[in-house]
Amino acid sequence: MGIPTPVRIESFDNSNIMGTSPVSAMVVFENGKPNKKEYRKYKIKTVEGPDDYASMREVIRRRYSRVKRDGLTPPDLIIMDGGQGQVNVAKDVLRKELNLSIPVAGLQKNDKHQTNELLFGDPLQVIDLPRQSEEFFLLHRIQDEVHRFAITFHRQVRSKNSFSSKLDGVEGLGPKRKQKLLKHFKSMTAIQKATVEDIHALGIPEKVAQALLDKLNDDNN
């Protein structure tokens, strides 16, 4: 690749289903090993609908604006889960908006959704790596890990959104009270089995608790 040994690698992946609950995730590998304390999750804030490139642009901007602003350790290499489009988006933000010169590579998968090619350079070219090499194994592990982390976060966000939506329409039950219910009961089934007194014990007025249980019972009938 013609770059110094990348001791710190940061890798990104997006996750959404038809544009719902779009998120992105970043994993960090240092000296070939995951540093999970450095992992980061991002809820997409500025993009409407399933726009992978716009979502990645937002996340790269947020991540490396903070790196620059707070004097954090920049990576020696950024790996995008994807090909030319994702790499070009990252380069555009880093160079034109943030004036940062961090190497960016892309990892493409084959038709079987397996790690296939490392893309790097300007213009992008396939970097030849033997499939049995330690380098290829490391890239495969990074791609699997960032995908796993993004998917797991996406499922968590979707679950919370679904949970919250079922609590909509109850007067007096705002976001903070919904959060209390989610944190305490963990599931909708547990709330349905609760009594007014159980819900009231969380600081939610009895009238609101009764209205909530009435709604949930009506929804199930």
Mean of all residue pLDDT scores within the chain: 86
Residue 18: per-residue pLDDT: 46
Tell me the residue ranges of DSSP E strands in 87-205.
Answer: 104-109, 115-120, 125-127
Q: Rounded distance, CA 178 to CA 186, Å?
A: 11
Domains parsed from the chain with CATH numbers = 8-161 (3.30.420.340), 167-220 (1.10.150)
Q: What 3-state class would DSSP assign to 108?
A: strand
Residue 221: per-residue pLDDT: 45
pLDDT for residue 20 is more than 60:
no
Closest CA to 10 of 97, 96, 100, 99: 100
pLDDT for residue 19 is more than 60:
no
Residue 216: per-residue pLDDT: 79
The DSSP 8-state label assigned to residue 97 in this structure reads I
Residue 217: per-residue pLDDT: 77
Residue 196, burial from CB neighbour count under 10 angstroms (0-12, 13-18, 19+): middle
- pLDDT tens-place string over residues 94-144: 999 999 999 999 998 877 777 788 999 999 999 988 888 999 999 999 998
Residue 21: per-residue pLDDT: 62
Query: In whole angstroms, how large is the CA radius of gyration of the chain?
Result: 22
pLDDT for residue 26 is more than 70:
yes
pLDDT confidence tier of residue 198, bands split at 50, 70 and 90: very high
Tokens of 13: 């992946």
Closest CA to 29 of 114, 137, 151: 137
Percent of the chain at pLDDT exceeding 90: 48
pLDDT-wise least confident of 33-37, 123-127, 148-152: 148-152
pLDDT for residue 159 is more than 50:
yes
pLDDT for residue 220 is more than 60:
no
